[in-house]
Structure 1
Amino acid sequence: MEFTGTGIGQGVAVGTTVRMPDPLPEPHTASSTRTPAEEAERAGTSMSAVARDLEERGEKAGGTASDVLEAQAMMAEDPSLMQLVMQATDAGKTAERAVYEAFASFRDQLAAMGGYLGERAADLDDVSQRVIAHLSGVAAPGVPQPDEPFVLLARDLAPADTALLDLDKVLALVTSDGGPTSHTAILAREKSIVAMVGTANALTIDDGTAVIVDAAAGTVTTDPSADAVADARARIAEREQTASAPVTPGALADGTPIPLLANLGSGDGAAHAVELGAEGVGLFRTEFLFLDAGDTAPSVDEQTEHYVRVLSAFAGKKVTVRVLDAGADKPLPFLNDADEQNPALGLRGLRALRAREGILRDQLAALAAADAQTEADLWVMAPMVSTVEETEYFVDLAHEFGLKTAGIMVEVPSIALLAKRAFAASDFASIGTNDLTQYTLAADRLLGTVASFQDPWHPAVLQLIGAVGQAGAEAGKPVGICGEAAADPLLAVVLVGLGATTLSMSPSALADVRLSLARFDGDAAQHLAQIACDAADAASARAAVTDAASSLQKD
């Protein structure tokens, strides 16, 4: 039998299944025999204990997992949640029941939002379970520890468990819930774990079932044939051989160089990205520095120190820094915290920075200072540019600060359609496929009800990318891709065929994309791009390119 879902990466695994244990039972509703103050104190003590445990797990795991678990620790001690807990204990409920109801209330609110925020609901469930387990004096549900390697089946996997998985034992993850932006998916990518999320009916698979988990195909096959197992093991061996081979620069089969760059959110991942073969940074997100700053923007000196750390890790290589991209799902009190009915179409990105130009000028000053202290090739770009006038404004301002290479992100269809004129002012363009897809298909990327529209394989999106690629080629200006689309190995070939000159992605995706590019020459890439653009929808574009690719690959 075959089950389908969303594959994370291109890996494949063969093994037998082990299911996550069931969650703790719902706490009883009987009134407490303790005083409300005693129950509130019990709850507070356990919430603090869980927060400390999550922080310790984060310190041990490092990387993205550290940030995720720190966020969970903050959930455990959220004052709003504690207030709800105290209201419940004041009503005579036990600490266990009060915690259960308070977290469930928050969880329902997040789940109703859908998309990225909806996928954070599972994080609240995990924290709630850990607090209730601590209150009850029992072990929190966690990953089982059988003696032999296994494929883990779960409804969803908590960040605290994903972060510390024993990679010698866990061959693959399969979850029935979650999506490509869930923490299971994020951490699976970072750890290069074979994973399938949103796999319908996965929990109907019995313990001990032999399976093939094929993330590239998006399938889980139960009781596979001997031939299927042999094929899967051959693919595993090929991937291991590729991973152990010396890292080479990204290039097509005909030798055309396609530099493969890393998307980073902080300086902590720079060294690991270099180890995995990143030839530079195609997107350094600076908003995390600002999100951690509180009610005021970080100073020029604080920013400079942060940027120096990143640039120093890539001496002699390109580092493309995106200036602050705030608004929409990332509001900042010192930039734009106004309540907007549709913030995705409101004062965000460069629009918000122009309204608070002092913040933009401070950031450019810090970047210029960091550039002077390091030997990286610094490029800067503005987010959410929609007009030629905005392009001219940002590029001129960046040059004013002595920054040599200034460009724009193409995330809005209007600037893609005006790419030829934009390139007259801009030194380069980088296409953010996540937002470009959102605005082209008029489908909020954070809204679960329209998640099916968030597919960069859609011909309308690809045609806009092609227009930018052609304009860049005519102007002799670079065109990069820094959205999630670049991490899809086959789509990466199509993007190159549309005119992309660099690809930037999560470092864990570099090896798969490098291998995929090496199988096609420039003519094949352009042919596949045309096939995709001629399709009627995303599904048929992906299917048509997949069918044609096998005959166009080079030996």
Structure 2
Amino acid sequence: MPDLDAPPRTLSGIGVGPGLAAGPAARMAPPPALPEPRPVADPERELAEAVRALEATEADLQARADAAHGEARDILSAQAMIAADPTLREGVAERIRSGEDAAHALRSTFDRHRELLAALGGYLGERAADLDDIANRAIAAALGRPMPGLPSPGHPFVLVADDLAPADTVGLDTGTVLALVTERGGPTSHTAILARALGLPAVVGCAGILDVPDGTEVAVDGTSGQVRAGVGADEAADVRARAAEDRTRLAAGRGPGRTADGHPVDLMVNIGSAADLRGVDLDGVAGVGLFRTEFLFLDRKDAPGLDEQVVAYAEAFGHFPEGTVVVRTLDAGADKPLPFLGLPEEPNPALGVRGLRVARDQPEILDTQLEAIARAAERTTADVWVMAPMVSTPVEAAEFVERARAYGLRTAGVMVEVPAAALRAERLLQVADFLSIGTNDLSQYTLAADRQSGAMADLLDPWQPALLRLIAACADAGRRSGRPVGVCGEAAADPALAPVLVGLGVTKLSMSARSVPAVRARLAAYEHARCEELARRVLDADDAAAARAAVLSS
């Protein structure tokens, strides 16, 4: 039971889901404990049990993916593919034949794969965290036990966990779960991405939160990253009142993005398919700033054909008959290995063949996609743009733009995800029509910090001045060339950071649809000159915390 007489204490993490909430804490239960090893009398029967557990896990994750939308669907589909990986089954079979029972064989096999991925770092290192959840689900299935679900205290609560798996968050009832707080995770973790998609206040990397007993009243500030544990009734009521005022203010805001003095800022949405746009309020949304096309390619032995791609793209374009849709060509490799590509193993895939680089050896994949996008564009009045991921040099940019225009695509740009591209932004814009900055990748490559490393979450914070300086360099190049520069990474969804990005010169911000109202409202509160002043402050800061404080305290 919480100590009602103890004074409140303030815990600090990284705010990844803007907003305020207050309510009693409720912690996620841990997965089933692994029992003592048992002797194996029939290895083949034991292997059949292990395979059944993996198949059940794959089916469950895929069913959850089919019921989800947007980023959640993509992440869960990727997890289902991991559960179906034949190398996992081979490892389990080897351990069972050496005497391990099904549950322990699963545990040791997943642990070994986790070690290998973690050692690689970068994108595949990021997937090591995914293995933990898949392993726990498979082991629970092998033991005949259910995986612990979300807590059900019978009243609204703040969900507290060590970390949250996509399968846990995809079914969250936002009418019951008031906020998310995790001890691990960083600003680009799956918890952060999904919290923003759900529109929940969230704080990750919050050391000490697991020591807070269930039922303790906590106040969560998803903007500053502060969590107050053990607050009294008056403080909790004040937080709820301010949260209600914020919701009313956001609901009242309509129209396109603009600063208080009318400086225009295109607010756009990130999608994985047309399904992500169903039932979404698109008032004031200028279009799609990032159309991730990977979902069409996932979980298949062969690449989707031309006609299939045309239909999928045209459906999404049809939602914006008078808007812009920016399509990112296939971003495969590294953390998104597609079986039909047959990419060889690499010492560090994060620094290897991924994104546009796949076209070096398999240009037909890109050519088919560009032709499909062009044909789909002919079926709509939307202004269709196309951009390539993982571009590093002006030569790569020029080759992509030439290729896109050969198929009749008038507007072709590139993503800025590596420092080399940001440093040569002006040269890139001599050949490309626009730049779109992927802050998640640019952050990890600039700060040399794995996106899923909780220990380095502060380095991955999008408020890092080094990252913002690279964004400023791209925006400056855009101003000089008269060409648009947007941000489509997770940083664009942070309403507190939005005025800073606009002050740096960014002209387009693309985010989850739920993030649009808060970003629009924050921009409307600042004149453009004030945005520029805030931008100068953050560039002069020594670290992310100081940069954020320079804005939030103003």
Q: TM-score, normalised by structure 1?
A: 0.88
What amino acid does structure 1 have at the position aligned with 2:415?
Answer: M
Q: Distance in 1 between matches of 2:106 and 2:232?
A: 48
Structure 2 residue 116 is matched with structure 1 residue 106: no
Which deviates more, 333-342 or 170-179? Answer: 333-342
Query: In the alignment, what sits opposite 2:167?
Result: 160
Q: Which has the higher contact order (CA 8 A, sep 6+)?
A: 2
Q: Deviations over 1:521-555 (max 9, x none)?
A: 1100011111112223333222222223xxxxxxx
Equivalent of 2:521 in 496, 501, 515: 515
Equivalent of 2:323 in 308, 317, 323: 317
Query: What are the equivalent positions in structure 2 for 1:378-457 lying under 5 Å apart?
Result: 378-443=384-449, 445=451, 452-457=458-463
| Partner SS for 2:525 | coil
| Partner SS for 2:181 | strand
Query: In the alignment, what sits opposite 2:3?
Result: none
Which deviates more, 350-359 or 533-542? Answer: 350-359
Query: In the alignment, what sits opposite 2:33?
Result: 25
Query: What are the equivalent positions in structure 2 for 1:163-174 lying under 5 Å apart?
Result: 163-174=170-181
Q: Distance in 2 between matches of 1:104 and 1:342?
A: 19
Asked whether the equivalents of residues 335 and 353 of structure 1 are also in contact (C-alpha less than 8 Å), the reply is no
Equivalent of 1:493 in 499, 506, 514: 499
What amino acid does structure 1 have at the position aligned with 2:209?
Answer: A
- After superposition, the Cα gap between the structure-2 partners of 1:203 and 1:453, relative to the gap in structure 1 and judged at 3 Å, is closer
Asked whether the equivalents of residues 120 and 347 of structure 2 are also in contact (C-alpha less than 8 Å), the reply is no
Q: Distance in 1 between matches of 2:455 and 2:121?
A: 7
What amino acid does structure 1 have at the position aligned with 2:31?
Answer: P
- After superposition, the Cα gap between the structure-2 partners of 1:452 and 1:144, relative to the gap in structure 1 and judged at 3 Å, is closer
Q: Distance in 2 between matches of 1:74 and 1:348?
A: 18
Structure 1 spans left out of the alignment, 5+ residues? 549-555
Q: Deviations over 1:84-115 (max 9, x none)?
A: 33333334443333333333333444455556
What amino acid does structure 2 have at the position aligned with 1:360?
Answer: L
- After superposition, the Cα gap between the structure-2 partners of 1:9 and 1:115, relative to the gap in structure 1 and judged at 3 Å, is farther
Q: Deviations over 1:400-433 (max 9, x none)?
A: 3222222222334444344344433332222222
Q: Distance in 2 between matches of 1:297 and 1:543?
A: 47
Q: Distance in 2 between matches of 1:70 and 1:377?
A: 30
What amino acid does structure 2 have at the position aligned with 1:267?
Answer: A
- After superposition, the Cα gap between the structure-2 partners of 1:455 and 1:168, relative to the gap in structure 1 and judged at 3 Å, is closer
Query: In the alignment, what sits opposite 2:204?
Result: 197
Query: In the alignment, what sits opposite 1:35?
Result: 42
Q: Distance in 2 between matches of 1:171 and 1:132?
A: 30
The total of aligned residue pairs comes to 546
Query: In the alignment, what sits opposite 2:549?
Result: 543
Which deviates more, 393-402 or 511-520? Answer: 393-402
Equivalent of 2:190 in 165, 176, 183: 183
Q: Deviations over 1:308-340 (max 9, x none)?
A: 121112221100112233444445566682444
Query: What are the equivalent positions in structure 2 for 1:362-381 lying under 5 Å apart?
Result: 362-381=368-387
Asked whether the equivalents of residues 193 and 490 of structure 2 are also in contact (C-alpha less than 8 Å), the reply is no
- After superposition, the Cα gap between the structure-2 partners of 1:116 and 1:191, relative to the gap in structure 1 and judged at 3 Å, is farther
Query: What are the equivalent positions in structure 2 for 1:13-412 lying under 5 Å apart?
Result: 13-32=21-40, 34-113=41-120, 117-118=124-125, 120-225=127-232, 228-245=235-252, 247-275=254-282, 278-294=285-301, 296-331=302-337, 337-412=343-418
Query: In the alignment, what sits opposite 1:528?
Result: 534
Q: Distance in 2 between matches of 1:82 and 1:443?
A: 31
- After superposition, the Cα gap between the structure-2 partners of 1:119 and 1:440, relative to the gap in structure 1 and judged at 3 Å, is closer
- After superposition, the Cα gap between the structure-2 partners of 1:476 and 1:289, relative to the gap in structure 1 and judged at 3 Å, is same
What amino acid does structure 2 have at the position aligned with 1:455?
Answer: D
- After superposition, the Cα gap between the structure-2 partners of 1:517 and 1:246, relative to the gap in structure 1 and judged at 3 Å, is closer
Query: In the alignment, what sits opposite 1:6?
Result: 14
Q: Distance in 2 between matches of 1:346 and 1:88?
A: 32
Which deviates more, 493-502 or 46-55? Answer: 46-55
Q: Deviations over 1:311-370 (max 9, x none)?
A: 112221100112233444445566682444454444444444255443333222211111
What amino acid does structure 2 have at the position aligned with 1:52?
Answer: A
Which deviates more, 207-216 or 46-55? Answer: 46-55
Q: Give, in angstroms, the shift of residue 171 of structure 1.
A: 1.6
Q: Give, in angstroms, the shift of residue 502 of structure 1.
A: 1.1
- Tell me the C-alpha RMSD between the 2 structures: 2.9
- After superposition, the Cα gap between the structure-2 partners of 1:301 and 1:505, relative to the gap in structure 1 and judged at 3 Å, is same
Q: Distance in 2 between matches of 1:346 and 1:69?
A: 24
Query: In the alignment, what sits opposite 1:553?
Result: none
Equivalent of 2:511 in 505, 508, 511: 505
Q: Give, in angstroms, the shift of residue 123 of structure 1.
A: 4.0
Q: Distance in 2 between matches of 1:128 and 1:392?
A: 44
Q: Distance in 1 between matches of 2:248 and 2:404?
A: 44
Q: Distance in 2 between matches of 1:5 and 1:348?
A: 32
| Partner SS for 2:270 | strand
- After superposition, the Cα gap between the structure-2 partners of 1:472 and 1:78, relative to the gap in structure 1 and judged at 3 Å, is closer
Asked whether the equivalents of residues 114 and 446 of structure 1 are also in contact (C-alpha less than 8 Å), the reply is no
Q: Give, in angstroms, the shift of residue 442 of structure 1.
A: 4.6
- After superposition, the Cα gap between the structure-2 partners of 1:39 and 1:509, relative to the gap in structure 1 and judged at 3 Å, is same
- % identical aligned pairs: 51
What amino acid does structure 2 have at the position aligned with 1:521?
Answer: E
Asked whether the equivalents of residues 115 and 448 of structure 1 are also in contact (C-alpha less than 8 Å), the reply is no
Asked whether the equivalents of residues 21 and 142 of structure 1 are also in contact (C-alpha less than 8 Å), the reply is yes
| Partner SS for 1:353 | helix
| Partner SS for 1:207 | coil
What amino acid does structure 1 have at the position aligned with 2:180?
Answer: L
Q: Give, in angstroms, the shift of residue 151 of structure 1.
A: 1.7
Equivalent of 1:474 in 472, 476, 480: 480
Which deviates more, 315-324 or 227-236? Answer: 227-236
Q: Deviations over 1:269-323 (max 9, x none)?
A: 12355547632111112234344453x5433223212211211122211001122
Which deviates more, 204-213 or 78-87? Answer: 78-87
Asked whether the equivalents of residues 7 and 197 of structure 1 are also in contact (C-alpha less than 8 Å), the reply is yes
Asked whether the equivalents of residues 69 and 159 of structure 1 are also in contact (C-alpha less than 8 Å), the reply is yes
Asked whether the equivalents of residues 119 and 179 of structure 1 are also in contact (C-alpha less than 8 Å), the reply is no
Q: Distance in 2 between matches of 1:397 and 1:362?
A: 11
